[in-house]
Amino acid sequence: MVHTVKQLSKLAGVSIRTLHYYDEIGLLKPSSYGNNGYRYYGEDATLRLQQILFYRELGLCLDDIKDILDDPDFDVLRALQTHRQALQEQAGRLNHLMATIDKTIMHLQGKSEMSTQELFEGFSEEKRLSRL
């Protein structure tokens, strides 16, 4: 299915201006342009936008994303598997942090004891140091 810039913007949850910008910097080219200058996005372009959004979610900058996606060895299936694994790890970490919050709430309500070490379960040293 082919989508206009407005349709794709709404589907992907990004602004029309963002899609125009991605076109300007060569990150996401439309599949075709109409005689009226409208941008049209086919499946390849929509899959590329999905990859852009996944990499943005993982904190990569647009220049790095462009380099990755433009690499001749880029494999979308392998990338999706990697994204899934990274999100699964992030979900596990967030679940651990939520459990620490729950334990702390129970402790503050006097319903359970909690050691000082338990207060910091779920926080990775690397993440804490990167915020300093």
Structure tokens at 98: 């939520």
Segment 11-35 mean pLDDT? 96
Residue 44 to residue 54: CA distance in whole angstroms: 15
What's the mean pLDDT when you consider all of the chain? 91
Q: Is residue 44 part of a domain?
A: yes
Confirm whether 46 is domain-assigned: yes
Q: 33 lies in a domain?
A: yes
pLDDT over threshold 80, residue 58: yes
SS3 of 9-55: the string is HHHHCCCHHHHHHHHHCCCCCCCEECCCCCEEECHHHHHHHHHHHHH
**Do residues 54 and 98 share a domain?**
no
pLDDT at position 132: 47
One-letter amino acid at 85 equals: Q
Residue 58 and residue 87 in one domain: no
| pLDDT at residue 26 tops 60 | yes
Are 52 and 97 part of one and the same domain? no
Assess whether 82 and 107 both reside in one domain.
yes
Task: Specify the 3-state DSSP secondary structure of 4.
Answer: strand
What's the mean pLDDT in 36-42? 93
Model confidence at 129, in pLDDT bands (50, 70, 90)?
Answer: very low
Given a cut of 90, is residue 61 above it in pLDDT?
yes
pLDDT, position 122: 83
**Within this chain, do residues 52 and 84 fall inside the same structural domain, yes or no?**
no
Rounded Cα distance, 84 and 12, in Å: 18
- Distance between CA 114 and CA 107 in Å, rounded? 6
Residue 67 lies in a domain: no
What is the model's pLDDT at position 127? 55
131: pLDDT strictly greater than 70:
no
